[in-house]
Amino acid sequence: MRAKFFNKKPIPKTSQNAFALLNSDTLSTVGTILSNFIHLINIEKSVLTHPNSAISDNQKFLKELEAGFNKLRNALEHGKPYRSLFNDVCKLKEGLEVIFGYYQTQIELCQPIAKDYLRKIRSEDSEVATLLHKIAYTEKQYAFHPKESKIIKKHIINVTAQDVMEQDMTTIREIVQQSLSVDHQDESENSCIRSL
């Protein structure tokens, strides 16, 4: 019986080019956008849409978006491109377009999700009210625990939702419009880099 030797399949040129253009600054910016989005969405109530259809499961969408982002970040950190990297970049850009559309709708509707959040925190038993009371009555300098930092971050992002959304929309537009290839664009690549 002959032993079979398989050559490792080469990484497609589109993925090589996309990897060459990936940089830590862009991924760091995308990470901030995703973090803001997590604080500005209501997983149960928010309506997210692709250009042609509604997203049926917000939790699944968010999980897949974060997984794709983490996969790209890991590839960049370790200097290791992979075969489907170009597709993952396209999916990430599509996810950013969904966030852009969500923000656009929220701004047009005067921030219903952020307003709902702010209405809820006004009650005396809200996490923010409890935390602020705790800070106010601590005699020494208060050291935030990670969970408390998240509460404060969510509060700040929701209080400044309009500014956060507008700034992130501008950044998303720039990211989505960036070319993924220096010297090679095929039809699938052109469809991936369409502008908002």
Q: Does a structural domain hold residue 75?
A: yes
Q: Does a structural domain hold residue 31?
A: yes
Q: Looking at beta carbons, which pairs linking 107-113 to residues 24 or more positions away fall under 8 Å?
A: 107/162, 107/165, 107/166, 111/161, 111/162, 113/40, 113/41, 113/42, 113/45, 113/46
Question: What are 2-44's pLDDT values in tens digits?
Answer: 444 555 788 899 888 888 888 889 999 999 999 999 999 999 9
Q: Does a structural domain hold residue 169?
A: yes
Instruction: Spell out the residues 6+ positions from residue 144 whose beta carbon is closer than 8 angstroms to its own.
Output: 152
For residues 142-148, give the mean pLDDT: 86
pLDDT (0 to 100) of residue 194: 44
pLDDT tier, 189 (very low <50, low <70, confident <90, very high otherwise)? low
> Is the pLDDT higher at 77 or at 134?
77
Q: Does a structural domain hold residue 134?
A: no
The residue type of 2 is R
pLDDT (0 to 100) of residue 50: 83
* Residues spanned by the domain of 174: 13-47+55-109+162-192
Per the structure, how many domains does the chain have? 1
Mean residue pLDDT of the chain comes to 85
